[in-house]
């Protein structure tokens, strides 16, 4: 690597294990945090070399860092629909503007799983305001993870679980991606090693993240330990492809992209667990 690789990550708890220790290597990488939609825009503009982009933002011209993702295989806890009505009676949904991936998934599940045709409106992630304007609200990230549904007279429907129930597959929410040539095998190896190191200390990462709000620590630790899957395995890639097929079938994307990967480090290959 001739210069530090510019990384753009999402500013949620879920990415912290994947960037563990990278701040100690300013000679190799620089790191900034934004919401998922901003990560995708910065990557498209060339302001960063690699972005932790939402899955829906992937373009066929880009390459994916193999073996690493933010995924789930069952309940994810941080992408949820909050509703005050039974699901089949929902007529309107306020969509969190932070991530198009989750908004697209909500549209897919509405048709394929919930069998509803609601009106959708985009809204900043503020649950009381969203529920004042719609029957249900999609929240993602920390806002969804720590929200108390009952305090707002709502129930919380986990969209990771809903996808798993529909397809039997994991869901891939985000991954490192960039233009061809933006990451050489050394950069790939560095990101894989950071992920492995982070996965080994998730309780410590969660505690540090919640230092200013320690009451959230146990929820954060359980989330990183039990809800998230950080390895982009062949089965996860199958789930990613299924998501693209579903989105294309509903006209939400123009075509089904075929994931392409950067050259892997010698001890790993695209989609395989990093041992």
More confident residue, 5 or 35: 5
**Is residue 144 located within the same domain as residue 176?**
no
What mean pLDDT is reported for the chain? 92
Please report which confidence band the pLDDT of residue 270 belongs to, taking 50, 70 and 90 as the band edges.
very low
Residues 67 and 197 in one domain: yes
**The domain boundary residue, chosen from 121, 149, 167:** 167
**114-152 confidence digits (pLDDT tens):** 999 999 999 999 999 999 999 999 999 999 999 999 999
Q: Hey, how many other C-beta atoms are within 10 angstroms of the C-beta on 252?
A: 16
pLDDT of res. 272 = 43
Range of the domain at 151: 79-167
Is the residue at 151 inside a domain?
A: yes
Considering the domain architecture, whether residues 92 and 58 belong to the same structural domain is answered as: no
93 and 106 in contact (C-beta within 8 Å)?
yes
* pLDDT for 267: 59
Q: Are residues 118 and 151 in the same domain?
A: yes
Instruction: Evaluate whether residue 97 is within a structural domain.
Output: yes
In this prediction, residue 161 carries a pLDDT of 98
Residue 206 lies in a domain: yes
Per-residue pLDDT, 166: 98
pLDDT of residue 274: 37
Q: What are phi and psi of 87, to 5 degrees?
A: -55, -45
Tell me, yes or no, whether 33 lies in a domain.
yes
| Mean pLDDT calculated for residue range 57-83 | 96
Q: Which of 174, 153, 171 is nearest to 161 (CA)?
A: 171
- CA pair distance 260, 51, nearest whole angstrom: 15
Question: For residue 152, what is the domain's CATH number?
Answer: 3.40.190.10
Q: Where are the alpha helices (DSSP H) in 147-233?
A: 159-167, 185-199, 202-209, 217-222
Residues 67 and 175 in one domain: yes
- Element (H or E) spanning 173, and its range? strand 171-178
What pLDDT, on the 0 to 100 scale, is given for residue 22?
A: 93
SS (H, E, C) 73-133: CCCCCCEEEEECCCHHHCCEEEEECCCHHHHHHHHHHHHHCCCCCCEEEEECCCHHHHHHH
Residues 195 and 147 in one domain: no
Closest CA to 77 of 159, 170, 166: 159
pLDDT computed for residue 266 by the predictor:
66
Burial grade of 206 (CB within 10 A; 0-12, 13-18, 19 or more): buried
| Cβ(172)–Cβ(56) below 8 Å | no
Q: Please tell me whether residues 56 and 190 are part of one structural domain.
A: yes
Looking at the fold, whether 185 and 225 belong to one and the same domain comes out as yes
From the CA atom positions of the chain, what is the Rg in Å? Answer: 18
Two tokens at 100? 């198009």
Tell me, what's the pLDDT at 35? 81
pLDDT in tens, 199-256: 999 999 999 999 999 999 999 999 999 999 999 999 999 999 999 999 999 999 999 9
Which of 167, 195, 227 corresponds to the end of one domain?
A: 167
Q: pTM above the 0.85 mark? A: yes
**Stronger pLDDT, 20 or 268, i.e. the higher one:** 20
- Same domain for 130 and 144? yes
Considering its fold, how many domains does the chain have in total? 2
- 36 — pLDDT class (breaks 50, 70, 90): confident
Give the separation between CA 122 and CA 220, rounded to whole angstroms. 27
Specify if 227 maps to a domain: yes
Q: Which helix (H) or strand (E) holds 239?
A: helix 234-249
Q: Identify the helix (H) or strand (E) that includes residue 247.
A: helix 234-249
Q: Are residues 158 and 85 in the same domain?
A: yes
**220 and 181, same structural domain?**
yes
pLDDT surpasses 70 at 273: no
**Is residue 269 a part of any domain in this protein?**
no
Whether residues 88 and 161 fall in one domain: yes
User: Does 269 score more than 50 pLDDT?
Assistant: no
Q: What is the pLDDT of residue 2?
A: 67
Token pair, residue 141, equals 């990230």
Among 101, 88, 94, which residue's Cα sits nearest to residue 39?
101
């Amino acid at each position: 690597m001739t210069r530090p690789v510019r990384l753009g990550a999402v500013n949620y708890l879920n990415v912290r294990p994947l960037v563990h220790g990278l701040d100690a290597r300013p000679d190799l990488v620089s790191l900034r945090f934004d919401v998922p939609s901003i990560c995708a825009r910065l990557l498209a503009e060339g302001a960063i070399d690699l972005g932790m982009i939402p899955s829906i933002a992937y373009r066929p011209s880009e390459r994916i860092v193999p073996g690493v993702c933010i995924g789930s295989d069952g309940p994810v806890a941080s992408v949820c629909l909050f509703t005050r009505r039974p699901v089949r009676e929902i007529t309107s949904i306020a969509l969190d503007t932070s991530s198009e991936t989750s908004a697209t998934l909500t549209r897919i599940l509405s048709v394929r799983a919930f069998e509803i045709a609601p009106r959708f409106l985009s809204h900043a992630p503020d649950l009381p305001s969203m529920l004042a304007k719609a029957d249900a609200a999609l929240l993602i990230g920390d806002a969804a993870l720590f929200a108390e549904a009952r305090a707002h007279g709502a129930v919380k429907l986990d969209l990771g679980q809903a996808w798993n129930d529909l397809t039997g597959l994991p869901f891939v929410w985000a991954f490192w991606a960039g233009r061809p040539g933006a990451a050489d095998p050394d950069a790939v190896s560095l990101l894989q090693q950071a992920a492995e190191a982070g996965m080994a200390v998730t309780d410590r990462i969660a505690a540090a993240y919640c230092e200013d709000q320690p009451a959230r620590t146990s929820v954060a630790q359980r989330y990183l330990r039990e809800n998230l899957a950080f390895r982009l395995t062949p089965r996860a890639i199958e789930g990613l492809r299924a998501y693209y097929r579903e989105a294309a079938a509903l006209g939400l994307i123009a075509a089904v992209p075929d994931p392409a990967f950067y050259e892997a480090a010698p001890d790993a290959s695209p989609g395989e667990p990093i041992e």
